[in-house]
Amino acid sequence: MSTINKRIPPLKNSSYNLSDYKKIREGFSWNDIGKDFIQKNGKVNAAYETIDRHVEEGYGDKIALHYVNGDEKQTYTFKEVKEKTDHYAQVLKNHGVKKGDRVFVFLPKTPDCYVSILAIIKIGAIAGPLFEAFMQEAVKDRINDCEGTVLITDKEMVNRVPQDEIPSLETILFVEDIESLPVKAVNGDVVEWVDVEDGLIIHYTSGSTGKPKGVLHAHRAVVHHYISGKWVLDIKDDDVYWCTSHPGWVTGSVYGLFAPWLNRATIVIQGGRFKAEDWYQLIDELNVTIWYSAPTAFRMLLNQEELLEKYDLSSLRHVLSVGEPLNPEVIYWAWNKLGVRIHDTWWMTETGGHLIVNFPSEEIKPGSMGRAFPGITVGILDEEGKELPRGSIGQLAIRTPWPGLMKEIWGNKEKFANYFKYEGWYLSGDLAIQDEEDYVFFQSRNDDMINSSGERIGPFEVESKLIEHPAVREAGVVGKPDPIQGEIVKAFITLRTGYVESKELLEEIRTFVKSNLAAHAAPKEIEILDELPKTKISGKILRRELKEREIEIIKVK
């Protein structure tokens, strides 16, 4: 095994919430952490713990969030967020929403998006946040899968909701109207107290085959969110915290909403698209202290480092990365140019929270995902489920259970069971190495998943949309290695009779996918072949051969 020997030590003269990793790990108990979240009635509610609790404990006037979108700026206290979620929750109740109902949120990254998610959870329903760039097909598939009954959106984005094709959808609520909607008097607390195993939030994640799958998490996950926010994000009472992910992705909900607010941080919500100048200005003006983003964003900032001289980023004390392996050169850049370390973190939609991380109080080995979170045991397994010696490449697995682990895959017990092929282990689908000091190094995916700019894209979903275009006969989609985005979506297609390759046709096909699925899923490159490589027996397209071909071409260049 080859690893980078150079290490980056913790920052000097700093105090961290987790100061002694080995000591904490030895005495750690999930049950001890969980006791703080169980009410006298033996019940729990994640929304209460996230917002209401702080108001009851006297922190209602503390700033809960800053919202910035160009010239538009808003600030809310914890008390104001509580009042707003209470109103939204009562509106939902007035529209017949009950415990366990699936309510979807399709909004830009605004305070209303965060409030809507919490309001749904507050009344015991299951929140289904959708990424703001989704198009009709993606929206339809997700709501239909778990038979969502209510959608919160706005009067612009509703145009991307094919209402006639979603039979379960009974009610659409517009955020432009919710504030002014009258509500019936609340008899007691609006909070619905639930069991720890009751449904909390459902996130749809793409697989290498089949349609997106609904990963359902339970209220017990709040324990994982809280303690990982305290120890990995290292949140303290005076922090200003910014996670750049949209709540439609699991990072944006778990570490953009739950974890920071469970730890009473002031969060930053930034609307609009990525622009280096805007990001740097936001950190400068709001004195952001903790920043959580993706390797793609850091690589783009690295390529525009001349902007650093224009902004004061000295408020930053802790920076983290998620979504894909973090290149060592990006870590060295941040260390040399910003004077901060970027801490890689590894987890998945299905795991519900951090599992392997680089703690701020520990050494970083650039290129490593870090070490196991307290209460988490890592295993590198062979094809028979047996643990391999240190330094061996094998299947990355985690000992079960832990609080953040998904409750189920909605309506798909067989898919759920595939994660637990070996008794007592959760299989991630990644291949990795663990060294003698317990640091874990990612090697590759064990399937065909595409990871572009920190977003997981299932090739089947893109292929399915491609072949709906009248010119496309067959399609094979792979992730092509890219220095900025990690991977880009590349499609190989064959054409139907009567169509001839042209730049105009390729752009038309790409736009077709973008308009009907999502911009991040649209192929950045499309190549036309006479035939796609397939298995001899089943005729299944060999994506692996297509990807190997791309890698060889890159090597030659």
The tens digit of pLDDT for each residue in 162-196 reads 999 999 999 999 999 999 998 876 666 899 999 99
Q: Over 80: is that where the pLDDT of 248 sits?
A: yes
Q: Which two tokens stand for residue 552?
A: 């060889």
Both tokens of 317, joined, read 């004390």
Average pLDDT over residues 189-208: 90
Q: Is the dihedral of CA 212, 213, 216, 221 positive or negative?
A: negative
User: For 138-159, how does the pLDDT look when each residue is reduced to its tens digit (9 = 90+)?
Assistant: 999 999 999 999 999 999 999 9
How far apart, in Å, are the Cα atoms of 381 and each of 251, 347, 369, 438, 441?
A: 27, 18, 17, 15, 14
Q: What is the chain's mean pLDDT, rounded?
A: 92
At 436-495, the pLDDT tens digits run 999 999 887 777 778 888 887 878 889 989 998 999 999 999 999 998 999 999 999 999
Higher pLDDT, 324 or 315: 315
CB atoms within 10 A of CB 498: 7
* Least confidently predicted of 221-230, 312-321, 412-421, 450-459: 450-459
Average pLDDT of the residues in 423-447 = 91
120: closest CA among 140, 145, 97?
Answer: 97
Q: Is 90 exceeded by the pLDDT of residue 385?
A: yes
How many Å apart are CA 381 and CA 425, to the nearest integer?
Answer: 10
- The pLDDT > 90 percentage for the chain reads 76
d(CA 342, CA 352): 21
Q: Return the pLDDT at 501.
A: 96
- Candidates 396, 520, 397; CA nearest to 455 is 520
Structure confidence by residue, pLDDT tens digits, 231-246: 999 999 999 999 999 9
Q: Please calculate the CA angle 50-342-380 and round it to the nearest 5 degrees.
A: 85
Per-residue confidence (pLDDT) for residue 304, from 0 to 100: 85
Contact 352/406 with Cβ under 8 angstroms? yes
pLDDT at 537: 55
State how beta strands 102-106 and 150-153 pair.
parallel
Give helix 295-302 / helix 328-337 axis angle, nearest 10°: 60
Of residues 308 and 67, more confidently modeled: 67
pLDDT of residue 107: 98
pLDDT of 2 strictly over 50:
no
Positive or negative torsion for Cα 309, 311, 313, 319? negative
With a cut of 80, say whether residue 40 has pLDDT above it: no
Task: Identify whether 403 is preceded by a cis peptide bond (ω within 30 of 0).
Answer: no
Confidence category of residue 330, pLDDT binned at 50, 70, 90: confident
Evaluate if residue 1 carries a pLDDT over 60. Answer: no
